[in-house]
């Protein structure tokens, strides 16, 4: 029986798997987003493939596995590509949710699997500017490795209150709602805030459109 290969996050020499086994972490500020589109329709494959065909992902590193897709690169470009994927998949009358995990600064991260040497002008933005629809949303921010994490969470939630997109606090998340652009502008604020104030964070977002559930 072969010996098991255990993980040693942040403790071993780099194993080169791009997963979290390096000693030093990434030296560049790579923003990542792992996301899934869940389309509650028999036509879910067509909807997702149609969205991907319309989305320009030239400025991000990308990978798709059985569970989700990952984009990595500069913050603006990752946000732009994820937003485009979501907006291009929107279909009138079809219930869809999207789970997005934004993150930066994991001690086990590596410089590989990214695209940083490009400009960060959002390439999908012009085609999306005139499209509007309402979105329900839950968010949760996880500032890692710091004792005052509740303070950072309160700061970003209070900014949502200032913007008028805050609906309520609930168990394990904060509920937001608003136009799709207002929400993604807010995600940009959160990623920027975290980039400035935290060495490692995870920002979990779930979006929902055309839900049949009233409340």
Whole-number minimum distance, CB 127 to its own copies, in Å?
26
Q: Is 49 one of the binding residues for its own copies (CB under 8 A)? A: no
Q: Is 13 one of the binding residues for its own copies (CB under 8 A)? A: no
CA atoms of 159 and 86, how far apart (whole Å) = 23
Rank residues 127 and 204 by Cβ distance to its own copies and give the closer one.
Answer: 204
CA atoms of 37 and 110, how far apart (whole Å) = 26
Whole-number minimum distance, CB 8 to its own copies, in Å?
6
Nearest alpha carbon to residue 79 among 96, 95, 103:
103
Among the listed residues 56, 192, 199, 208, the single contact to its own copies using CB under 8 A = 208
Strand, helix or coil at 6?
coil
User: Using CB under 8 A, which residues numbered 140 to 179 contact its own copies?
Assistant: 140, 142, 144-147, 149-151, 153-154, 157-158, 161-162, 168-173, 175
Q: Is 27 one of the binding residues for its own copies (CB under 8 A)? A: no
C-beta separation of 72 from 61 below 8 A: yes
Give CA separation, 173 vs 97, 137, 189, 204, in Å.
Answer: 16, 10, 18, 9
Rank residues 24 and 211 by Cβ distance to its own copies and give the closer one.
Answer: 211
């Amino acid at each position: 029986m072969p010996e098991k290969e255990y993980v040693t996050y942040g403790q071993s020499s780099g194993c080169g798997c791009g997963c979290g086994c390096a000693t030093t972490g990434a030296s560049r500020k790579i923003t990542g987003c792992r996301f899934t589109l869940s389309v509650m329709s028999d036509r879910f494959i067509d909807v997702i493939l149609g969205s991907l065909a319309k989305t320009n992902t030239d400025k991000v590193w990308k990978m798709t596995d059985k569970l989700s897709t990952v984009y990595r690169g500069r913050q603006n470009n990752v946000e732009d590509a994820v937003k485009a994927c979501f907006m291009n998949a929107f279909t009138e009358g079809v219930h869809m949710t999207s789970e997005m995990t934004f993150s930066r600064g994991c001690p086990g991260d590596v410089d590989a699997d990214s695209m940083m040497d490009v400009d960060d002008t959002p390439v999908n933005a012009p085609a999306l500017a005139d499209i509007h629809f309402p979105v329900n949303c839950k968010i949760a921010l996880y500032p890692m490795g710091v004792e005052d994490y509740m303070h950072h969470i309160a700061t970003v939630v209070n900014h949502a209150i200032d913007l008028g997109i805050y609906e309520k606090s609930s168990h394990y998340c904060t509920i937001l709602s608003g136009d799709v652009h207002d929400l993604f502008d807010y995600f940009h604020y959160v990623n920027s805030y975290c980039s400035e104030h935290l060495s490692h964070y995870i920002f979990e977002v779930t979006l929902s459109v055309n839900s049949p559930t009233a409340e």
